[in-house]
Chains A and B, each alone.
Chain A
Amino acid sequence: KKMTNDNLNKLLVFCVLFCAQKTSIVHGAQALETKVALLLHAEPENPKCFAEGMSDLTCFWEEDEERAGSADQYSFIYTYQNENSSECSITALPAAGGKRLYFCRLSQTQLFVPLDIRVFRDDLLIHNRSLFIEAVFLLDPPANLTLTSTGMQGQLKASWLPPSLKYMGDSMMYEVSYAMAGSHIGKVEEVQASSELILRGLQSGTKYKVRIRVKLDGISYSGYWSAWTDPVLMETMPGDLDPLIVSLSLIISLVLTLLSLLVLMSHRRFLLKKIWPIIPTPESKFQGLFKVYGGDFQEWLGHSTGGLWLRPTYFYSEEFPVPLEVLSEVSLGPALPSSALPPKASEALGEEEDEDKKLKRVDPALMEGWRKTPQEHWTMDQLRAIHQHPAPWTQSSLLESHDAYVTLNAQNHSVEEPLDDILEETLPLQVLFASGRTSSESRSDLGSVQQSSGSGRLSSQSSFEYPNHTWPSKGPGYTYMAVADSGVSMDYSPMSSNKIDDIGKGVIYTNEYKNEIPAHRRPIGTPIHFAF
């Protein structure tokens, strides 16, 4: 059992070594293939030779497959200076592209002395070359290429392991190639006798790929550039804000802030109005209402000394009495129908029964209609029409409109009854019934028509009283006036009729009779200040 175990152990060790060698052989074969390719490109002379270490030399040449012979057809003869020649054994290996490679490898060499190489094929010299072995070094690429951060912006530190060649450490020259990942444009830096290099001037926050190759410096030893190492990637540190950009941004923002503040300050009133509009208050119109009386309007009214709101009667402007119109009666045709009365002349006062009757006969419907019609529609054209048409008055022609007529009777008869001043402020007219009566009174709402007892009587009649009947002819002593009541003032214009035969007797005057609000009745006997 023990022997079996020992055999197994030996077998295991053998297998491990074999596998390791196989791996190294494979790796070595790959490296050789790379170097052959390099030399085929870089060395024009044949055979191409390179030294990998201190005591080796590999030479090879290439021939087309179709013309190639077997390895034993070739002989490789080398001679050091002042020494005898020696021969190297040749190995043939197939190559890509229909080529064959013939190799010769020396394991013991002499440097710093010329070496003559001659290659024969079937005793025919095909290649001849003299070289110094220390001048044909082709090293393996540096191992363990590592990238690290230096802690500073735009920098990377590349470090590697130099080829382990004795006596040559200070003769090695390195070439570091670095570029941004994905870019084909890069930079190259050389460094001598060192095992690290700091790459500067890199962009922040960018991934870079770095690779390196080695070569002897050429003073004591020289050779060819090695193959590039596999690229190593690393990202640089993220960049800080450019201080120039930061400062410019701060300045610009400050300037903009100042400008906006200036604009706001210059238009603050406008902006305040828009954002916080002022609620209008009537305080300026009511002095002291809010400040003194705290908004108590009634109290303020009681103590106010303003001149605008003194008279309550200001509100009753419409109720002011209208001046009385007095007309001199003129005999006309038949009674004219009454037209619509204004609402002011709505009531007739009479002291006699027939007056009352006539009053009663006033059609309430007409009264309604009278109220509705404004007096502005009283047309002077109708009055003029009456002048132009000497035809006897008819009810329709004269009283078809809403005109109000007042007639005055001048009769010589005494007043049987005292005048009743039944003035009402709401009645603009007093109607005096004077048709065929001896007693007729002219009354006004605002004043009394005083009549002298013998001088004659003045009577006024309104067309209001004749809604349905004809205008009675009053006789030659009557003069008619057309009254236009606009509600503010009343305009009087004389009316003349061809039947009026008082032209010779008197002159018709136009007169505006103005009344005033009486405090009491006028005593009888106060003359009337008008004449006709």
Chain B
Amino acid sequence: LFSGTGPVVVLLTVLQWAGRGLPSPVRPICDPRVLDRFIMEARDTETALRGCKAGCGVTGTFVVPLTNVDFVVWETKDTEEQALEVQSGMSLFGQALGAVRESVSRVAVQILIDNNKSNIHSLGQVLRSLHIQHKEVKQSRVSSLSELLHVHTNFLRGKVRLLLTNAPACQQNST
């Protein structure tokens, strides 16, 4: 169900491009199918842990970014600001999932969390290559694992996707 580590995903993405015979973009993440897979994996994790009793043993609060996207407002932002928001958010999710991993005792849950963490890490590497300076963004707090995962999913579906779909770097390399 899950591909595993992020580099594997990158490799698969490269292979897909080789099979299609298209010139591979500089950043594989520009392929919307890659992000879509991340999104689906996050959704699956959220669904799997929704019925978890007592929050799957996870307690505490987690700082998460805001996921809401107002297109009118979003389009007023330039790509860098957008990337800053995405990068900050991804960082926060990474920290939260790491703390969750420490609290989860069930192995199945651990595997799911590890998968999501690897996806976030892959996205973070792409964003770090953009040389975006870290900036404090608006944040929110969640108090359960399901909420955390839900926010995570929404963040990926929204801001991350919008950024990658319209990023100038992806626009220049896409055909």
Contacts and interface: CB of A to CB of B under 8 A. Distances in A.
Contact of B67 (A108, A112, A167): A112
B154 A113 contact: yes
Contacts of A134: 157-158
Given A167-B166, A220-B161, A113 B40 contact: no
Nearest to B138: A82
A483 B69 CA distance: 158
B80 interface: no
A112 B68 contact: yes
A110 interface: yes
A111 B32 contact: no
B140 interface: yes
Contacts of B66: 82, 113
Contact of A82 (B39, B140, B155, B157): B140
Contacts of B155: 112
Interface size class of B (residues with CB under 8 A): 20 to 34
A170 interface: yes
B39 A54 contact: no
Interface residues of A, number: 18
Interface string A318-338: 000000000000000000000
Contacts, number: 52
A219 B159 CA distance: 14
A80 B68 CA distance: 9
Contacts of B68: 80-81, 110-113
A80 B40 CA distance: 24
Nearest to A81: B68
B136 interface: no
A170 B34 CA distance: 13
Most chain A beta-carbon contacts within 10 A, residue among B71, B72, B166: B71
Interface string A115-140: 00000000000000000101000000
Contacts of A379: none
A55 interface: yes
Contacts of B67: 112-113
Contacts of B166: 167
B70 interface: yes
Interface in B27-56: 32, 36, 39-40
B162 to A, nearest CB: 6
A170 B70 contact: no
B165 interface: yes
Contacts of B162: 167
A166 interface: yes
Nearest to A132: B154
A515 to B, nearest CB: 134
Contacts of B69: 110-113
B44 to A, nearest CB: 12
A219 B67 CA distance: 16
Nearest to A54: B71
A109 interface: yes
A108 B68 CA distance: 12
B71 to A, nearest CB: 4
A112 B36 CA distance: 15
Interface in A65-110: 80-82, 108-110
B39 A219 contact: yes
A55 B70 contact: yes
Interface string B145-163: 0000000001101110110
Contact of B157 (A55, A80, A112, A170): A112
B39 A112 contact: no
Contacts of A80: 68
B52 to A, nearest CB: 20
Nearest to B72: A55
B72 to A, nearest CB: 6
Contacts of B36: 219-220
A54 B74 CA distance: 11
A132 to B, nearest CB: 8
| Residue among B140, B159, B161, B166 having the largest count of chain A Cβ atoms under 10 Å | B161
B165 A167 contact: yes
A167 to B, nearest CB: 6
Contacts of B40: 219
Interface in A128-165: 132, 134
Interface in A150-209: 166-167, 170
5 contacts: A134-B157, A134-B158, A167-B165, A170-B32, A220-B157
Interface of A: 54-55, 80-82, 108-113, 132, 134, 166-167, 170, 219-220
Nearest 4 CB-CB pairings of A with B = A112-B158, A113-B68, A110-B68, A54-B71
Given A112-B67, A112-B69, A112-B155, 10 more contacts: A109-B70, A111-B68, A111-B70, A112-B158, A113-B68, A132-B154, A134-B158, A167-B166, A219-B36, A220-B39
